[in-house]
Amino acid sequence: MLVLALDTATSTVTAGVVSLPDSGSPVVRGQRVAADARKHGELLMPNVLAACAEAGVALRDVDAIVTGTGPGPFTGLRVGMVTAAALGDALGKPVHGVCSHDAIAREACADRLSGNLIVVTDARRREVYWAGYEAEGARVTGPHVEAPAVLVERLGGFPSVAAAGERADVTGLPVIGPATAGAAGLVAVAADALRAGADPGPLRPLYLRRPDAVEPGARKRVSA
């Protein structure tokens, strides 16, 4: 099975073509990664086409699409999700959404850690997104959005041996890779559903914050 994997939940724009065997780990056949927090829209499709070219396949050859659903800032995150949905509709392929932190954890825990893992990414506004995982990569808490100081306080109740993600350094724990979600990790999270041919659920972004824009209230009367 050939899977196109996308993620724009962080400042990094990732696109990859991955072979998913009937058993065993996903194998990356082509991948492009570009780091630019302000050019998700400009970089994603060129990365998709370059990854396909590296893998020696056309877009129509993929069997399914997997996209990271965050947590991530609104503008960047929706680029990947909307692109995945549009490609799925145009190609007639199923689109599976997975938590981007889960993908990072799946790769970080590939060699089995001796304890829990924390995944931390940049939420901007002096905050971070984070989630906690067991050594095998199963998520047990989060994702949350909080100030780094609050996260550090919470680590007392979730002792961990390492941290991964682009803001892993705020934890004070040993930092391991990857910093962002890779194609192999994204497909690994969705592997069971892909192999079973399960119908994907609706794509739901993990923004974690309420939107800044709100509907205007009723107009105030200016006369008695």
d(CA 204, CA 14): 19
User: Whole domain around residue 54: which residue ranges?
Assistant: 2-100+180-196
Task: Say yes or no: 11 and 94 in one domain.
Answer: yes
Per-residue pLDDT at 101 exceeds 90: yes
Task: Say yes or no: 158 and 91 in one domain.
Answer: no
In a domain, 201, yes or no: no
State the DSSP code for 42: H
Q: Would strands 12-19 and 95-98 be described as parallel, antiparallel, or unpaired?
A: unpaired
Q: Which element (helix H / strand E) includes 101?
A: helix 100-108
Task: Say yes or no: 94 and 185 in one domain.
Answer: yes
Task: Say yes or no: 136 and 32 in one domain.
Answer: no
Q: Which of 6-10, 66-70, 75-79, 181-185 has the lowest mean pLDDT?
A: 75-79
Render pLDDT for 125-178 as a digit per residue (tens, 0 to 9). 899 999 999 999 999 999 999 999 999 999 989 999 999 999 999 999 999 999
In a domain, 139, yes or no: yes
Task: Say yes or no: 79 and 108 in one domain.
Answer: no
In a domain, 215, yes or no: no
d(CA 28, CA 50): 13
CATH value at residue 114: 3.30.420.40
Give which of 9, 19, 13 is closest to 187, Cα–Cα: 19
Residue with the larger pLDDT of the pair 74 and 51: 51
pLDDT at 6: 98
Number of domains in the chain: 2
pLDDT-above-70 percentage for the chain: 93
pLDDT at 173: 96
Task: Say yes or no: 9 and 53 in one domain.
Answer: yes
Give which of 209, 208, 18 is closest to 96, Cα–Cα: 18
Per-residue pLDDT at 20 exceeds 90: yes
d(CA 142, CA 20): 28
Signed CA dihedral, 86, 102, 127, 180: sign only = negative
Give CA separation, 86 vs 64, 82, 90, 94, in Å. Answer: 13, 6, 6, 11
Task: Say yes or no: 87 and 146 in one domain.
Answer: no
In a domain, 124, yes or no: yes
pLDDT at 213: 44
d(CA 26, CA 76): 26
Task: Say yes or no: 51 and 95 in one domain.
Answer: yes
Per-residue pLDDT at 10 exceeds 80: yes
pLDDT band at 214 (very low <50, low <70, confident <90, very high): very low
In a domain, 217, yes or no: no
Task: Say yes or no: 60 and 113 in one domain.
Answer: no
pLDDT at 84: 98
